[in-house]
Amino acid sequence: MGLKFGTDGVRGLAHSELTTELVTKLAFATSNAIGVKEFVIGTDGRESGEIFARALAGGLKAAGATSHYLGMVPTPGIAHIASDFEIAGAVISASHNHAEYNGVKFFLPNGQKLSDETQKEIEALLGERIPTPPLQESIEVSNTTQTYLTSWIDSLKNASLQNNFHDISVVIDCANGAASKIAPQIFEELGVALTVIHSEPNGNNINQNCGSTDMSSLRDGVIELDADVGLAFDGDADRLLAIDHEGNTIDGDHLMAIFARDFKNRKKLKDNTVVATVMANMGFHESMRSEAINVHTTAVGDRHILKALGDNNWSLGGEQSGHIIFSDQARTGDGILTGLHLLDCMKRSQIRLAELAQSSMRRFPQVLHSIELKEQLGDQNTILQQAQPLITAAESIFTQKGRVLVRPSGTEPILRIMVEGEIASEVHHVANEVTKSIKQTLKL
């Protein structure tokens, strides 16, 4: 079938790249590959979510597995439920993408995502001639849903060191996605002075001019209300970015720096090590060196961070995009948990977020470019080999610290170029030069 897993499950345009036939076969192959016969299924509120849930349920049934459909549930909720109840989980979501996309990601009964080896086994099974299981005719939310959700919600409340945040004013942007019902409930029960925006999903407005991919309305709301902080989720609520009271964006690198220092001070940072990806800003590394905190670097994607955390029993890792993983408390990135930890740091320190972020690290200027690839250009390793001399030449332009990172996208035929350094003008110049040179070399 040609299906390939990306950096986070399977994803594509609903009903064209991602079809119900593909999803039923994917469910069938996954159940057989991991040997698990009980699943919980959640969606992030997209219009196409229910029909793909029926497809998943049909494929699982054909594999001899049972499924419990929970309706709209954030990805970290499904991961927690899978771990707590020792069953598998499936999330129908395209994360931060718009409503025309959808995807599927799976969790094992320990709450972990599928390994590279398991994904290859599933791809191999899908390459065989297997019959297409039928869609389930209809699907209803399971009567066990509240029991499952209560387990996760209680774990979030217990993760906070504070019982009441009544003196902190917060605006949350639910991205018209999976956080829309649960996030307001949790923050209100913890006493937050709360304003909620973009929490009315209609199936087609997820991530539309809102959420962590477009924080302009959240920024306006924080400034207009003179709130202490704004918190922005993505569609499936496994990531979070913040806005301080001055309207500045606080990205995942700043959040990681804040949490790493806090964890170290409270002796919660195991082996004095934090896990980050190759995309982490140079300023983050500079800050961690100054705090005598080790940084273990992985490839892009929270699966790689999770593996490093699990293999070494470390406690904190994350990405610039806002996937932050507190491995002692969660099995994947959890935007609500990240927000609670941030409020907790603000409450205990009695320091406003703007000052916390500024003192945690300085951000080096960074530019991101993308180059669309043609399939006939060959495999990505060959392309990267061709690009390496151009990268070396571009880096020689820097008069001070700087770097160039070129990597293929995990979900689409795009080459991503990241350039950062101490001088903004140099960063922009290098980014333009290396992008132009790669396009010329690849004849694009």
Average pLDDT on 323-350 reads 95
- 2 located within any domain: no
Backbone φ and ψ for 149, nearest 5 degrees, come out as: -65, -35
pLDDT of 296 higher than 90: yes
Average pLDDT on 153-164 reads 86
User: Which CATH number fits the domain that encloses residue 434?
Assistant: 3.30.310.50
Q: pLDDT value at position 33?
A: 95
Do 380 and 433 belong to one domain? Answer: yes
- pLDDT bin (cut points 50, 70, 90) of residue 378 is low
Last residue of a domain, one of 309, 329, 360: 360
Do 398 and 437 belong to one domain? Answer: yes
- 162 located within any domain: no
Do 209 and 239 belong to one domain? Answer: yes
Do 355 and 375 belong to one domain? Answer: no
Last residue of a domain, one of 305, 331, 360: 360
Q: pLDDT value at position 163?
A: 73
Average pLDDT on 431-444 reads 86
Do 254 and 336 belong to one domain? Answer: yes
Domains in the chain, number: 3
For residue 322, what is the DSSP state? S
Do 276 and 380 belong to one domain? Answer: no
Percentage, residues of the chain above pLDDT 90? 77
d(CA 424, CA 429): 9
d(CA 205, CA 100): 10
Q: What is the pLDDT of residues 30-64, one digit of tens each?
A: 999 999 999 999 999 999 999 999 999 999 999 99
pLDDT of 377 higher than 70: no
User: Which CATH number fits the domain that encloses residue 279?
Assistant: 3.40.120.10
Higher pLDDT, residue 266 or 8:
266
pLDDT of 398 higher than 80: yes
Residues with a known catalytic role: 95
- 343 located within any domain: yes
d(CA 88, CA 179): 21
- 198 located within any domain: yes
Q: pLDDT value at position 360?
A: 95
Strands 169-173 and 229-233, by their bridges, are parallel
| Contact assessment for residue 192 and residue 166, using Cβ atoms and an 8 Å cutoff | yes
Query: What is the token pair recorded at 113?
Result: 């995502």
Q: pLDDT value at position 330?
A: 93
Q: Note the Cα 248 to chain centre separation in Å.
A: 21
- 156 located within any domain: no
Do 375 and 318 belong to one domain? Answer: no
Domain that includes residue 290, residue range: 167-360
- 356 located within any domain: yes
Last residue of a domain, one of 145, 176, 207: 145
Do 348 and 204 belong to one domain? Answer: yes
pLDDT of 1 higher than 50: no
Name residue 6's beta-bridge partners: 9
- 80 located within any domain: yes
Do 181 and 312 belong to one domain? Answer: yes
Do 219 and 352 belong to one domain? Answer: yes
Q: pLDDT value at position 380?
A: 63
Do 353 and 228 belong to one domain? Answer: yes
- 154 located within any domain: no
Model confidence, pTM: 0.91
Do 373 and 411 belong to one domain? Answer: yes
Q: What is the pLDDT of residues 133-146, one digit of tens each?
A: 888 888 999 999 99
